[in-house]
Amino acid sequence: MHTQKKFGTAPVFFTAISTILGAILFLRFGFAVGTLGFWGVILIILLGHIVTIPTALALSEIATNKRVEGGGEYYIVSRSFGLNIGATIGVVLYLSQAISVAFYVIAFTEAFSFLFDFLKDRFDFILPRQVISVPVMLFLASLIIRKGANMGVKALYVIVGILAFSILMFFLGSSNYAANSSFSLANAEFRNMGSFFLVFAIIFPAFTGMTAGVGLSGDLKNPAKSIPLGTIAAIISGMVIYFLIAYKLASSASPAELANNQMVMADIAVWGFLVVPLGLAAATISSALGSVMVAPRTLQALATDKSFPSAKINEWLSKNREKDGEPVNASIVTCVIAFFFVLMGDVNIVAQIISMFFMVTYGSICLISFLNHFGSSPSYRPSFKSRWVFSLIGFIASIWIMFQISVLYTVLALVVLVFVYVYINYLHKNRKGLESIFANAIFQLNRWLQVYIQRKKITRTEKEWRPSAICISKNSFKYDNAFRLLNWLSYKFGFGTYLHFIKDYYSRSTSEQAKQELEKILKNIETENSVYVDTIVSPSNTSAIVQAIQLPGIAGMENNMLIFDFDKEDPDELDVIIDNYRVVNAGDFDICVLAVSRKPVFYKNGIHVWIKTFDELNANLMILMSFIILGHPDWKRSNIKIHYLCREEEVESVQMWLDELIVGGRMPIFRHNIEIVIREKDIPVKKIIGDYSSEAGLTIIGFISEDVKQNGREVFEGYDKLGNVLFVNACSAKIID
């Protein structure tokens, strides 16, 4: 699809300024000055521009970083937040633009209020507003569909000229009140500030026109130049004009006149009976013209991105007219929607929701700019540069003002956005996920936190121990027990890194193999995953372990635990674990060995912790780990069962230790969950454990280094009755506080 680029900066400026200086300026601005006083209205203008200026700066910045194609604000949001979120905001933005056409056409009829009043007073006949609004809407539709934006821009120049003349006549005018008034900046006042946000809600739509020119982005010769220059010039010009008009109104009419006479400007201007209705007509028709040019381009961009459920609809809406590149089909749809609301005749309620959607769009644009600043991506190199603080202020102000204007309409707008997003996400499941804008921000935040932690030397302490575990396994495609264990530990309280081990020399082919296998693992992972997954290629088990234990922790804290796994039905890997046990033990690591069973995990049967008399260091770690594992949703209906295996003469001291644990340990363990098991001399420990815990979801057993040195594989074998068994060796005592 090829669109002829034909516009420069002037259409951007005139489209924006004509929408800013719209119906509200002529019909409602006097009411605002009369109600709140001069300084109250100045505060409204400043507060409104706290949103619009950062948005204009953010738009200008983004437009000079990459080429903004057709769709204006929609294009910017969708290319930053992803097509699904972009389409969600784009749909409501388009509806806002389309309904705005009707809003401005209806406001246009107020320019003929003298006619309506004459017929009512003279003949007692109430003429429907649609007598004027419907023909005007038909004329606009005919102009845009037949002639396109090119004719619309030409008409815009004439209309802006009339608008400028009308405002000039207003400034040149005077009044009897002005001749006798002592009004000055020194004695200007605030009034009725309790109604501030009610008046703000009425006035704020006047400032929303500042992005109208951005919708022409697909028709601009140089968007990177025209969008910043035209938009910023329009917003600054509009703000200055509003300041001056506020002063002129306050000094030319009484508060009562201003509040009760919506055509008060006509009483002040030179030839006001003529030029003010003419200016109102020009302002409203120019705003309608700007919206009816912009809305079809947003709709066309949505269709080009296949945002709608039917391929035929997308194709039809995305078509351009061959002779001039106009989105004629999208224009037809826009005019039909606008015509429907014109027939309704009153869009005041809809207009409030429209304002909410515009605020959502502005907030999104400011957030995009802020995240780009924060993410510091090398590809973000705009020639026009704003400041991140402006964008952050614009984003926060947008959300805050939405709730201040109306909590109800804010909630309704957000609910509509959620429903639209769910539907679009359903249509385009393959487009899930956000673009790199969030990833860059997360990378920067993670880097800053890790550097901060290292600089402040905030390392793990005995009182605030939590697992930061590494699991090295080459059995990723054989079973997932080790990964699940790491996920249990990492879900709520800990951090986990799962390393898929490929035993080979590092080369181009093994590097490619590692990428493919990592991708396969990530696809196989369930959505409820809290583990960081990677691959490691190394020629030997020892070298892989040495590399792994020197990795920095993903949370910024040092790794403190290493997890091995072996298959109980094929325990040959135990030899590798035992051979490398000394290497790992040289570091400050807790060591866990998972004996993987093919039995199903009976979560409801709980976690069994076996403590023996030599588990002085291991006991608290095993209890802490069982508590951490219990925090995962898989174990939500489970409990912890502690078995203390001791001789008969040790029962009293063991009971005292367990009582202290219950009272001061703050663990979800009750007396009925603790059992002291007296060891019989003739019965092997492994048989006792097997008899008690054969149906347990997970069994945790302590071991010590000396036992591994003396007995090797025997330490971990012989638990055939049990399901998964986690053997735990603590490098230091953990305090349960």
69 part of a folded domain: yes
Q: What is the pLDDT of residue 437?
A: 59
Angle among Cα 105, 138, 342 to the nearest 5 degrees reads: 40
Residue 29 sits in a domain whose CATH number is: 1.20.1740.10
Q: Are residues 416 and 474 in the same domain?
A: no
> Residue 66: its pLDDT value, please?
62
Last residue of a domain, one of 431, 457, 491: 431
Q: Is 280 part of a structural domain of the chain?
A: yes
Please check whether residue 462 lies inside any domain of the structure: no
Same domain, 522 and 642: yes
Task: Confirm whether pTM is higher than 0.75.
Answer: no
pLDDT value of position 6: 62
- HSE value, Cβ hemisphere, 13 Å, CA-based, for 526: 10
Total domains present in the chain: 2
Residue 219 lies in a domain: yes
Q: For residues 512 and 643, state if they share a domain.
A: yes
Gyration radius from the chain CA atoms: 36
pLDDT for res 1: 43
Domain identity same for 107 and 238: yes
Sign of CA dihedral 520, 524, 526, 532: negative
Asked whether residue 413 falls in the same domain as residue 500, the answer is no
The reply to whether 562 and 615 lie within a common domain is: yes
Helices 407-427 and 83-108 cross at an angle (nearest 10°) of 130
User: How high is the pLDDT of residue 460?
Assistant: 46
- Model pLDDT, residue 2: 45
Same domain, 406 and 540: no
Q: Of 378, 408, 431, which one is at a domain's C-terminal end?
A: 431
Q: Which domain holds residue 677?
A: 468-729
DSSP class per residue in 313-327: HHHHHH---TTT---
pLDDT for 92: 79
Tally Cβ neighbours within 10 Å of residue 582: 11
User: Is the domain of 544 the same as that of 602?
Assistant: yes
Rounded distance between C-alpha atoms, residue 87 and residue 92, angstroms: 9
Answer yes or no: do 410 and 519 share one domain.
Answer: no
Domain-embedded: residue 735: no
Is residue 50 assigned to a domain?
A: yes
Same domain, 297 and 390: yes
> Tell me, what CATH number does 717's domain have?
3.40.50.12370
Among 431, 459, 487, the domain-final residue is 431
In this structure, what token pair is assigned to residue 625? 């780990």
> Same structural domain for residues 180 and 70?
yes
Give domain status of residue 632, yes or no: yes
Blockwise average pLDDT, block size 10, the chain, 737 residues: 60 79 81 90 91 85 67 72 79 82 81 76 78 82 70 69 89 84 80 83 75 62 77 88 92 87 86 85 77 83 86 87 79 88 66 72 83 71 80 91 83 83 80 60 70 59 72 90 91 87 92 92 78 91 88 73 91 89 83 92 92 85 90 87 87 80 60 83 89 93 91 91 94 75
What order of strands is seen across the sheet that includes strand 590-596?
Answer: 531-538, 495-503, 468-473, 561-567, 590-596, 725-729, 698-702, 607-612, 640-646, 674-678
DSSP state of 708: H
The answer to whether position 441 is within a domain reads no
Residues 406 and 477 in one domain: no
